Amino acid sequence: MKNLDSELLRTFLAVAAGGSMTEGAERIGRSQSATSLQIKRLEQVLGQPVFGRTGRGICLTETGQRLLPVAREVTARLDGALREINADGLRGKLRFGMPDDHGRTRLAQIVGAFSQSHPHVDLEVTCSISTEFPALLAKGQLDIAVYEVETAGSREEIVLEDPTCWVMSRHTDLLSSPQLPVALFDQACWWRDAAIASLQNSGKSYRVAFSSQSVAGVAAAVEAGVAIGLLARSSVGDHLTVLGSEHGFTPTPVSRLVINTAPDADADLTRAFKTAIRSAFGK
């Protein structure tokens, strides 16, 4: 009796996603000849071709189209079963905080990696501004958080360091203004303090033209040409001009993204979650 092998289905999915034998082979780490051989074996089992050729590569046949959702479901269920079997027994609830400013991509990486490895742990995620997280940890309202500081404390593990710099839209010349328009955070935090200290040290006459609770708001004001702003160097695109000593600005501090945990948080859960955070930041 003929059977559908899951490895054949995975090869089929890789080629279907890549649009060619070459791309499919790269996705599964096999040679093109080995990949082609597996597709031929799959077609022998089915008794029908799963791919046809076009002028731009390959396409799914009617049989391939029927097989595609089945292959996805089967491989997903097998992967899920393996995760369940290999789960390390961690259970409970973990409350995690992370700033909005570091994007959905990293948050998705962290949550996805942790949930796959520890499916029996319930996650509660809070996205807010960095200044709120230390207090929430101290009060026991969060178990673990990632946030920005200028100087890391003894309990704070650095996962990313990013220099700050003054920036301005390339399409404006705000430096000639009698009072330099500046975009600042509207709450007391080290970013706001660092920006004001830099302006004062540089002897700049300024006015607060825009205020925001988030980096995204400050960046929007800068990009719109409304004001200059202090941003992390990694977030500066080609459409912005970095303002340095040649423009009369003194050096600004480095932003440090840190991990911290609540004093009474479950040590096993937070240890496992720290691994997922480090991985997302390439540590």
Per-residue pLDDT in tens (0 to 9) along the chain, 283 residues: 678 899 999 999 999 998 888 888 888 888 999 999 999 999 999 999 999 987 677 899 999 999 999 999 999 888 877 766 666 668 899 999 998 776 677 888 899 888 888 888 999 999 888 888 999 999 999 999 999 898 999 899 999 999 999 999 998 989 989 999 999 987 778 889 999 999 999 999 999 999 988 888 898 999 999 999 999 888 888 889 999 999 999 999 999 999 999 999 999 899 999 999 998 888 6
Cβ burial, residue 183 (10 Å; 0-12/13-18/19+): buried
Cβ–Cβ < 8 Å for 180, 167: no
- Rounded to the nearest 10 degrees, the angle between the axes of helix 103-117 and helix 267-280 is 130
Q: Where in the chain are the domains? A: 6-86, 92-150+257-280, 161-252
- What is the third-level CATH fold of 161-252? D-Maltodextrin-Binding Protein; domain 2 (3.40.190)
**Domain 161-252 in the same topology as domain 92-150+257-280:** yes
Tokens 């899951």 sit at which residue? 6
Q: Which amino acid is at 244?
A: G
CATH, range 6-86: 1.10.10.10
- What is the third-level CATH fold of 92-150+257-280? D-Maltodextrin-Binding Protein; domain 2 (3.40.190)
Q: How far is CA 114 from CA 62, 111, 126, in A?
A: 38, 5, 16
